[in-house]
């Protein structure tokens, strides 16, 4: 598979308003890519575009898009092609989720929205944009999944399922596009120092699992993903230490079950009663408890 030359490439990046996506946009711009950036928080995208444009680089095209809504991905693909003429590189980075016990979350609207953002919308963008890449004989798709596909935790099952589904689809897509000139890469972040860490830590005992790997840096994660794209790698895991769980999933899951059982035994009964049956939309546009946890995390890290 040929390496991707990002200088002059037309890139559609979703979830660019914060965290890894924000840093990806900055890194891609440094490489000379021509960007269309999409997210729900358009004011943040506009600040990003201003920042990049002030550095004597092409300012990204800003596209407001709520990928939790059916049909939004198709409209985004059309807007991106109108702005860029065509898309050479698609980076499915947007993410959202739902917290709650599997037996209670079930197929509720919150769970369906999480699948829309994390699975159906990436597939809709792939369907809309990959045919053009195949016709041109070049292009790339990067799907950002999560180490949650290997290591879940009580309350995270629905979210982990969305990322696991995208991981399997990515592996299959890579085989299907072999020898077409279209490169497919999976980016698998482990724990990275972004606002999501605030809401993640709402889950009792989860620090026991997260403490196994030091928090990674969002900018370094973005650099690792971009390097992987340039070098035609099939998979990038960051932080690298998190890769042990990917290589040895049975051991990782055994260890996580052991930690989770111990953590659940230590949960105060009042706390257990309070969270029993609780379902929370997570992410930057999630429920108030998740948004507040994200803001608190950023404030503690001096980024508010």
Do the beta carbons of residue 41 and residue 67 sit within 8 Å?
no
Task: Quote the Cα angle for 210-191-171, to 5°.
Answer: 115
pTM for this prediction: 0.95
Gap between the Cα atoms of 4 and 7, Å rounded: 9
**pLDDT value of position 3:** 78
Can you tell me whether residue 222 is helix, strand or coil?
helix
- List, in order, residues 6 or more apart from 272 with CB less than 8 Å away: 204, 264
Cα–Cα–Cα angle for 23, 26, 27, rounded to 5 degrees: 85
Report the C-alpha gap between 236 and 20 in whole angstroms: 14
- pLDDT the model gives residue 202: 86
The three-class DSSP label of residue 236 is strand
User: What pLDDT shows up at residue 304?
Assistant: 66
pLDDT for position 264 = 86
Contact at 8 Å (CB) between 92 and 125?
A: yes
Report pLDDT for 2. Answer: 66
Q: Cβ(114)–Cβ(98) under 8 Å?
A: yes
Please state, in angstroms and rounded to a whole number, the distance separating the CA atoms of residues 15 and 142.
13
Q: Would you state the pLDDT for residue 48?
A: 97
Residue 47 CB contacts under 8 Å (≥ 6 apart), including other chains: none
The kind and range of the H/E element at 90 are strand 89-92
Positions of the chain with pLDDT lower than 70, given as ranges: 1-2, 304
Delineate the domains of the chain, giving CATH numbers in brackets. 10-300 (3.40.50.720)
* Closest CA relative to residue 193, chosen from 50, 22, 14, 12: 22
User: Which residues have a Cβ under 8 Å from the Cβ of 19 and sit 6 or more positions away?
Assistant: 192, 194, 195, 196, 218
Kindly state the tokens that stand for 90: 């698609």
Which residues are marked as active site? 159
φ/ψ of residue 143, rounded to 5: -105, 125
* 8 secondary structure, DSSP code: T
């Amino acid at each position: 598979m040929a390496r991707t030359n990002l200088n002059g490439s037309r890139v559609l990046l979703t979830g660019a308003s914060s965290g890894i996506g924000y840093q990806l946009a900055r890194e891609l711009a440094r490489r000379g890519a021509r960007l269309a950036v999409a997210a729900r928080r358009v004011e943040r995208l506009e600040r990003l575009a201003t920042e990049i444009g002030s550095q004597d680089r092409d300012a990204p095209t800003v596209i407001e898009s709520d990928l939790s809504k059916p049909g939004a991905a198709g409209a985004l693909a059309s807007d991106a092609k109108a702005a860029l003429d065509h898309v050479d590189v698609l980076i499915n980075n947007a993410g959202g989720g739902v917290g709650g016990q599997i037996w209670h979350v079930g197929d509720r609207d919150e769970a369906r929205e999480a699948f829309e953002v994390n699975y159906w919308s990436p597939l809709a963008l792939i369907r809309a944009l990959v045919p053009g890449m195949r016709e041109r004989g070049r292009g790339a798709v990067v799907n950002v999944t999560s180490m949650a596909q290997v290591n879940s935790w009580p309350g995270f099952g629905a979210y982990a399922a969305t990322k696991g589904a995208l991981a399997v689809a990515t592996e299959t897509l890579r085989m299907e596009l072999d020898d077409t000139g279209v490169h497919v890469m999976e980016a698998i972040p482990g724990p990275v120092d972004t606002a999501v860490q605030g809401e993640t830590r709402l889950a009792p005992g989860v620090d026991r699992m997260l403490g196994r790997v030091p928090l990674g840096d969002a900018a370094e994660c973005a650099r690792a993903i971009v390097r992987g794209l340039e070098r035609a790698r099939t998979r990038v895991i960051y932080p690298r230490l998190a890769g042990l769980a990917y290589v040895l999933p049975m051991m990782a899951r055994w260890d996580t079950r052991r930690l989770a059982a111990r953590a659940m035994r230590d949960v105060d009964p009042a706390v257990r009663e309070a969270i029993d049956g609780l379902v929370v939309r997570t992410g930057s546009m999630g429920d108030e408890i998740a948004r507040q946890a994200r803001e608190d995390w950023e404030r503690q890290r001096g980024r508010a």
